[in-house]
Amino acid sequence: MSKHRRKNREEKTLTRLLEFCRPYIGQIIAALIFAIIYVGLNLVAPILVGYAIDYAVGVGKVDFVSVGLLLLGVGVSAVCSGVFQWLMNMCTNTVVYFTVRDIRRLIYKKWSTVPLSVIDRTPHGDLISRMINDADSVGDGLMQGITQLFSGIVMIICTLVFMMYISVTIAIAVVIITPLSMFVAAFITKISRKQFMKQSEVQGEISSYIDEYIGQQKLVKSFGYEERSMRSFEEINERLRICGQKSQWYSSLANPSTRFVNTLVTSAVTILGSLSVIGGTMTVGSIATFITYANQYTKPFNEVTGVIPQIQAAMAGARRIFEFLDSENMSEDPENSEENRNLSGNIDIDHVNFSYVPTKKLITDFNLHVGSGQRIAIVGPTGCGKTTLINLLMRFYDINSGSIKIDGKSIYQMSRHDLRSNYGMVLQESWLYNASIRDNIAYGRPDADIEDVIAAAKKAHIHNFIQRLPDGYDTIVTEDGTNLSQGQRQLICIARVMLCDPPMLILDEATSSIDTRTELRVQKAFAEMMKGRTSFIVAHRLSTIKEADVILVMKDGNIIEQGDHNSLMKAGGFYSNLYNSQFAVAQEG
């Protein structure tokens, strides 16, 4: 990337980041006022100390009363300075914490608006890292940047005025030498910038790896993958160490380099001031005051270079956050769309084409017409497009071309909420969240009465199990439902759909984790629930779909056979061979 483009990108990132601070302009102004008072009180102390030195110069000429009063004034100014510094920090902290809160809120909201394709192709650990680690980096950088900015600018301006008042010549010497530290800092910043960006990227990578590793511990242990996973982790961790060490090493050069320049400033002030004292144009107290002001003038330059690591990390984190916030959104729902509740379930799919990757075709010229109340089973080898068809029906993904209509109305003329509220969906992978069993069953109907929740649990044949738990329906489910078996989790998910009682159903391997005896009972419950409802059933166990009205046999994104179980078996085609092979395997078992 060219230097000009990189500079523009950084300026845009900084400008956009500061936009988040705009709602808190009141706190920013208050912080600026407190910073002015804090710096002013800091600048009073050196003058008082200088006067005290002048009152104490000379044997037997010490004015103890004046010196005592001046030192008392120094103490009072120090206490007041501390109070106003605390108030300034309170205001800047408020701005920073609220800004980071708003950024995290925006990221969380963005998760709800991006297409599933963005979530699917981005490691989940990386998304979490952007919300947690990168947002924390932005907060740390803003905290340091705003604090140093307010106090630093005021300190530089005020000390410069006071130094000019004491001695224009020495003040000019200070002003000429001090900017050297900024040139040094700018050079080092340029070197370390790339390393901080790389560090943020590797942090996202290691978060993704840890998220996968922790979430799949049973699989890792069952395959004895511990040592290999440790080697993979060590490789990523080592890369993080290297780029982190480089970024910190480069940035750590800034502070000692600028302090060296500031030492030159102090030396120049001392030499020129001493000559002025000898020449009689300055007093000893004045030169002491000037040296203090020179140190205070150079202090903001030191502090800025000292917080370069945090500022660089904040800029890198902000770029990653804005990269996600700028990612594509789902297409907008139609304006003023009518509510489409309780659809009858007549579905027409005409000439639909879809692929996840433009260069790799998946579903081509797909046609399907489903009557209201029909039970449609979808079978076929892995990767044939069964789940993809479900994704298109639910508008998790948008078709490339063609049309999908329900009751004669395109699903793209409905809001996603209305469309999806007409479907009840049970997936192969059950999902529960950290709440009570009652809350998990009522996830789709939070206002449901306990009687309705119990009725749904009874239909899913899980009521007796729940009653045996210590707290019954108030039993808390741990994260991802790890305190329940896979079958129990799936039964709760089935009860969740039965409680919603939708007009259309999608069952994607809904009973794959349930024992055979329970499955038979749940299948009866499903059969009762599917009466009068359009239902799509994805199943690998073909024995579970024999009663379907229509069986679609898919291969390579297309329907190659269609009919009921008996007609497909008589045809002796792909379905017949698939069914017989499963029957043969079952017999051998």
**Following DSSP, what letter does each residue of 293-312 receive, concatenated?**
HHHHHHHHHHHHHHTHHHHH
* Domain annotation covers residue 369: no
pLDDT exceeds cutoff 70 at 372:
yes
- Residues with Cβ within 8 Å of 412's Cβ and at least 6 positions away in sequence, in order, are 334, 395, 398, 404
Through-space distance between the first and last CA atoms of the chain, rounded to whole angstroms: 62
pLDDT exceeds cutoff 60 at 587:
no
pLDDT exceeds cutoff 80 at 86:
yes
Q: Which domain CATH number covers 169?
A: 1.20.1560.10
Nearest-angstrom CA–CA distance, 258 and 253: 9
Pick 408 or 339 by higher pLDDT. Answer: 408
* Domain annotation covers residue 226: yes
* Domain annotation covers residue 148: yes
What does pTM read for this prediction?
0.70
441-452 average pLDDT score = 89
Supply the DSSP string of 479-496, one letter for each residue: GGGTTS-HHHHHHHHHHH
* Domain annotation covers residue 164: yes
* Main-chain phi, psi angles of 508, to 5 degrees: -105, 95
Nearest-angstrom CA–CA distance, 291 and 2: 43
pLDDT of residue 451: 92
Stretch among 288-292, 423-427, 512-516 having the lowest mean pLDDT: 512-516
6's tokens: 């990189």
pLDDT of residue 585: 47
105-123 average pLDDT score = 84
Total of domains in the chain:
1
Dump pLDDT digits (tens) for 461-510.
Answer: 889 889 998 889 999 888 766 778 877 888 888 888 888 888 888 888 77
Nearest-angstrom CA–CA distance, 554 and 381: 8
Evaluate the CA torsion angle 42, 43, 49, 52 in order and state its sign.
negative
* Domain annotation covers residue 352: no
Q: Is 509 left (phi over 0), alpha (psi -120 to 50) or beta?
A: left
Nearest-angstrom CA–CA distance, 167 and 528: 96
pLDDT of residue 341: 66
- Residues with Cβ within 8 Å of 401's Cβ and at least 6 positions away in sequence, in order, are 351, 352, 353
141-159 average pLDDT score = 77
pLDDT of residue 513: 63
Q: Residue 208 is part of which domain span?
A: 13-325
Q: Which residue has the tokens 């005592």?
A: 68
Contact 320, 199 (CB under 8 A): no
406-414 average pLDDT score = 88
* Domain annotation covers residue 102: yes
Q: What angle do CA 103, 107, 109 make, to 5 degrees?
A: 115
Dump pLDDT digits (tens) for 168-220.
Answer: 887 787 777 777 766 776 677 667 767 777 787 788 788 878 877 776 766 67
pLDDT exceeds cutoff 50 at 586:
no
* Domain annotation covers residue 100: yes
* Domain annotation covers residue 270: yes
